[in-house]
Amino acid sequence: MDERFRDLPLTAVADAALTAAQAAGASRTEVRVHRIESQSIRLRDGTVRAITDSTALGLAVRVIVDGTWGFASSAELSADVAASTATAAVEVARALRSLNRDQVALADEPVYSDVEWVSPYEIDPFVVPTVDKVALLTEFSARLSASDGVDHVVASLEQVKEQTFFADSAGTRITQQRVRLQPVLEATTVDQSAGEFETMRTLAPPVGRGWEFLTGTAWDWDDELAHIPEWLAEKVKAPTVEPGPTDLVIDPTNLWLTIHESIGHATEYDRAIGYESAYAGTSFATPDKLGTLQYGSPVMTVTADRTEPHGLATVGWDDEGVAGQRWDLVRDGLFVGYQLDRAFAPRLGLDRSNGCSYADSPHHVPIQRMANVSLQPDPERDTSTAELISRVENGIYIVGDKSWSIDMQRYNFQFTGQRFFRIRNGSIDGQLRDVAYQATTTDFWNALEAVGGPSTWRLGGALNCGKAQPGQVAAVSHGCPSVLVRGVNILNTRTEGGAA
Q: Classify each residue of 57-86 as buried b or exposed e, where b means 16 or more C-beta atoms within 10 Å of its C-beta.
A: bbbbbbbbbeebbbbbbbeebebebbbbbb
Q: Are strands 115-118 and 173-191 parallel, antiparallel or unpaired?
A: parallel
> Residue 249 in contact with residue 423, Cβ under 8 Å?
yes
Does pLDDT of 496 surpass 80?
Answer: yes
Q: CA 279 to CA 73: how far, in whole Å?
A: 23
List, for residues 217-243, the tens digit of each pLDDT value: 999 999 999 999 999 999 999 999 999
C-alpha separations of 299 from 72, 79, 378 in Å? 47, 55, 8
Q: Residue 329 contacts by C-beta under 8 Å, 6 or more apart in sequence? A: 263, 267, 302, 303, 304, 335, 336, 337, 338, 339, 373
Q: Are strands 173-191 and 196-201 parallel, antiparallel or unpaired?
A: antiparallel
> Residue 344 in contact with residue 318, Cβ under 8 Å?
no
Does pLDDT of 120 surpass 80?
Answer: yes
pLDDT confidence bin for 194, thresholds 50/70/90: confident
The mean of the pLDDT values for the chain is: 96
Q: How many helices (H) and strands (E) does the chain have?
A: 11, 24
| Residue 278: predicted pLDDT | 82
Q: Which helix (H) or strand (E) holds 330?
A: strand 326-331
Does pLDDT of 306 surpass 70?
Answer: yes
Q: Are strands 68-74 and 47-65 parallel, antiparallel or unpaired?
A: antiparallel
Q: Supply the DSSP string of 361-406, one letter for each residue.
A: STTS--EE---EEEEPPPSS----HHHHHHT-SEEEEEES---EEE
pLDDT confidence bin for 371, thresholds 50/70/90: very high
10 Å Cβ neighbour count for 113?
10
Q: Which part of the chain has CATH 3.30.2290.10? A: 3-237
10 Å Cβ neighbour count for 256?
27
Does pLDDT of 216 surpass 80?
Answer: yes
List, for residues 425-484, the tens digit of each pLDDT value: 999 999 999 999 999 999 999 999 999 999 999 999 999 999 998 899 999 999 999 999
| Residue 96: predicted pLDDT | 96
Does pLDDT of 193 surpass 80?
Answer: no
| Residue 196: predicted pLDDT | 82
User: Does 3.90.79.10 match the CATH number of domain 3-237?
Assistant: no
Q: CA 173 to CA 16: how far, in whole Å?
A: 14
List, for residues 157-177, the tens digit of each pLDDT value: 999 999 999 999 999 999 999
List, for residues 21-54, the tens digit of each pLDDT value: 999 999 999 999 999 999 999 999 999 999 999 9
List, for residues 8-25, the tens digit of each pLDDT value: 999 999 999 999 999 999
Q: Are strands 244-250 and 394-399 parallel, antiparallel or unpaired?
A: parallel
Alpha helices in 455-500 (DSSP H): 493-496
Q: Supply the DSSP string of 71-102, one letter for each residue.
A: EEEES--SHHHHHHHHHHHHHHHHHHGGG--S
Q: CA 168 to CA 151: how far, in whole Å?
A: 56
pLDDT confidence bin for 500, thresholds 50/70/90: low
List, for residues 127-138, the tens digit of each pLDDT value: 999 999 999 999
